Structures are given as C-alpha cells and as structure tokens.
Structure 1
Amino acid sequence: MATSSKSMRSLSCWKQILRQTRAVRQQQFRTLNTTPISISRFPGPPPPGLSRPRASQQDVSNRQPKKMKVYPPPPSARAVCKDPIAAVTESQLGKLDPTRARTRLFTRSNLDAAKVGDILLVRTKNGDDFAGVCLNIRRSGIDTAILLRNNLTRVGVEMWYKIYSPNVEGIEVVQRREKRARRARLYYMRKPKHDVGSVENIVRQYQRQRAMLRSADVKSRDANSTKKKNNKRGSNK
C-alpha cells in the first residue's frame, strides 16, 4: 500500500508542474503578440509564435485587384442552327432524292401529285415489283411512306413502302381515281363491298401502252437518224 501512495503523489506533482508551464507559455505568447513588429523585417512567412499585424484600411484601398482571365461563352446551338431537324431532313433528301422527283410526286401543292385511291406501281431493285390501290399516304419528311393494297390469289395483301428507301427504284402512277376521295385514309376498301380486287390487268395494259410508246419513239428516232445520214451523204456528193 505504501508503494501505491508514492506513485499517486508523483503523478499529482507532474500535473501541477505541467499546469504551471502551460500558464507561463500562454503569458509569453500574449506578450509577444502585443509587441509591434514591422513586416519588412520578415519578408517571408512570420516566425512561429508571431502573427502578421492587420493591414490598415488605407493599405487595403491602395492594393490593386488581380485581373482574372475571362473566357467568352461557347456559341449556342440555337444561334448556329435554328432548326436542326429541318437541316438534317434537307441533307438526307439531297442524298436520297437529288432530283426531287419523288418529293414532287407526293407534295400536296402539286396538282399532278399521287393521291389516295390511285393505282401505283412500285419498282424495287430486288425485282419484286408491287402494284395496288393507295390507301394511305403518311407524310413525315424522310419517313414518308405509302400503303398499297392488291389481291394475290384471291387474298388481300397490303404493303408499306417508304418512297425514299434506297431499295425503291421508282414509283409510277398507273391509273388515277376518277373522283376525288373524301377521306385521307381509304381503309373502308378492305371490306368485300368496296374492295377493288386484283389490279394486275390494269397494270399489264399500262405496261403494254408504255412499251408501244417506247417503240414508237425508238422508230421515230431511227427514222430521223437515217434521214440525217442520207442528207449528209447527198451533200457530200
């Protein structure tokens, strides 16, 4: 028990000594801070235990603010391109339809444009041509498409074709409707009462007439070329 009492006394003594040293250090630190020291003597950071005195209002007013580099804002997309969808549509139409023949064929302002109820013939690069009555024309820019209906082996068949598709080689108007349709979509023609049926005979007749016109044009061209040759020969003689 004697040893424990001695150790307790020694700890209490050390606590008292530490408290006294802390008080002395705080007093010294306060006295050092109160003494005025010029900053010119310390060009670098102040020594430990010392703090720089606060600058007066006159010194603060004499200081010039540091100029910051200001970058201009980036150009807005609206200023560069006001209507990006229209610009993309025009660029795509220039690639897919450079002559704008298909665009004129389905524009509403064109009097000779294809309309619902007309019989259209779509020629594809694969060779699978399809003809039928136009039931609907969906005008939506590059995605403009037409719906054709025909009867194959007494079964009604409908096909959607995008007019600007690279697979579509050409679109021809085989026969126009006699009267203007009063509806934008002729879905009532799916019923047996209003179904036109197969249009193969009309398409064949159209192709024959076209072949005859082509042959007549070829004959007239040949006749004109022979006349020109004979005239040249006569002039040379």
Structure 2
Amino acid sequence: MAMPTPTLRPLSCWKSLLRHARHQKVATRSLTTYHKSVTFSKYEIPTPGASIEVTRKIKTYPPPQSPAQKFKEPLKDFTKHQISILDPTGARTHLFSKTNPEAAKVGDILLVRLKTGDPFAGVCINIRRRGVDTGILLRNELTRVGVEMWYKIYSPNVEGIEVVQRREKRARRARLTYLRKPKHDMGSVQNIVLAYQRSRGAMRGSVQEKKGGKKGKGKKK
C-alpha cells in the first residue's frame, strides 16, 4: 500500500497568504470603526448591536465680551486715565495744548515751582509732547554759566508752572537750539522773574486790601 505524500507549497505561496491575511485584518478593522447612526420608528424594535441616536438639550452660554470691543485704542485710554490722575483740573494740559491760543510756546519765559527744591525759571527752548511724558526744556544763565533743565509737566514733584513773559513774535522753529550760541543767547532772566514776582505781590496786596475794606465797611454798618 502506497503512503500519501504530503503536499509541499513554495515559499512565495506562504508570503501571498500572509499578505492576504494582513489586508483582511485591516479591512475588518476599518469596518468595525465605521459608525452609522440608525433611527427607528416609535414601534420598531432595534436589533442588537445597532446604535440609537439620543438628542439632549445642552445649556449653552454666550461668549464673554471681548475687551478689544470696549477698548479699541488701549494706549490712548491708558494715557487719558493717567493724565486724569496726575492733572485732575486739566490746567497743565490746557496750558500746553495746541488748540489753546494762549498756550505756552517756545521762546516764552516759564517759571517752574517744585515741591522739593528751589524754583527754576528760563527760556523755553523745546516742548516735547509725549502724552504723560510731556516735558519742557528751560535755559537760563546761573553765575555766567548756561544751564538747561528738563521738566515733566505731569511730574508729582512739579507744584506749578507759570508764564512769566511771552515772546513778542511767534518763533518760526519748534526748537530754539540756536539760543545756545553766544550771539543769540538771552543770558540771565533773573531780573525779569523778580519784576514778575513783584507785580504779582503788588496785585495780591491790592486784592487783600479791597477785601479788608469791604469787611470793615460791613462791620461799621
């Protein structure tokens, strides 16, 4: 009796079978991940394994208001807020405003009173308008030496700024740096400041006398 000989397959046949099995696994995996919602009628009984679509009302809230809508120009708003704190009356802003016809300009003699230290007066050479950092450059001569000082008009150390004398003609330049030359240097303005202070003192004395006279007349009656 002849023995049955086992069937032998080449190696390429096994490779094709393994490749086919691998592709079949990928296909079944993709079919299992595919989801399709099935809707049933009121009296239909769902089959096992079918997904049921359930609708739930979720409470939604409106998105918060964006600060960009309220503050369209944040830098300008911040500058206005700081100026309102440092200059509540708005007197210094009005004194150096371009729209004010009686504003302080370059070429005027200004007197800056400080809370700590002696006041300083000089010719205004430059006005730098930078919002809160707005400053003025004053030039004077002390002991025959030219001195220039920068002052921030909104600085808490500055108590007040007064216009001592205005320039007769409007300056054609925004910066009067040519006053540093000996030919155009005005020198010391101390005499002009002393005359201004005397006139202010005389005016205050006359006003106080008038008030005192009125009070005395009222008492006699």
Same fold (TM over 0.5): yes
Mapped pair 1:164 → 2:138: no
Describe the shift of the 1:124–1:56 C-alpha distance in structure 2 as closer, same or farther (beyond 3 A): closer
* 1:105 equivalent in structure 2: 95
Alignment-mate amino acid for residue 87 of structure 1: D
Q: Which runs of 5+ in 2 are unaligned?
A: 1-31, 39-45
Mapped pair 1:205 → 2:200: no
| Residue in structure 2 matching 1:84, options 71, 74, 77 | 74
Describe the shift of the 1:186–1:57 C-alpha distance in structure 2 as closer, same or farther (beyond 3 A): closer
Aligned residues: 179
What SS does structure 2 have at the residue aligned with 1:92? helix
Describe the shift of the 1:143–1:55 C-alpha distance in structure 2 as closer, same or farther (beyond 3 A): closer
Q: Distance in 1 between matches of 2:218 and 2:56?
A: 90
Tell me how far 1:165 sits from its aligned partner: 0.5
- What do you get for the CA RMSD once the two structures are aligned? 2.3
- Structure number with greater Rg is 1
Report the TM-score when normalising by structure 2: 0.74
Q: Deviations over 1:82-141 (max 9, x none)?
A: 121222122212211111111110001111110000000000001321000000111111
* 1:23 equivalent in structure 2: none
Report the TM-score when normalising by structure 1: 0.69
Mapped pair 1:132 → 2:117: no
Mapped pair 1:218 → 2:211: no
What SS does structure 2 have at the residue aligned with 1:207? helix
CA contact (8 A) 2:121 2:140 kept: yes
CA contact (8 A) 2:109 2:165 kept: yes
* 1:177 equivalent in structure 2: 167
Q: Distance in 2 between matches of 1:134 and 1:185?
A: 9
Q: Distance in 1 between matches of 2:180 and 2:121?
A: 16
Q: Distance in 2 between matches of 1:65 and 1:227?
A: 92
* 2:143 equivalent in structure 1: 153
Describe the shift of the 1:210–1:56 C-alpha distance in structure 2 as closer, same or farther (beyond 3 A): closer
Which contiguous aligned blocks of 4+ residues in structure 1 show a shift greater than 6 angstroms? 54-57, 65-69
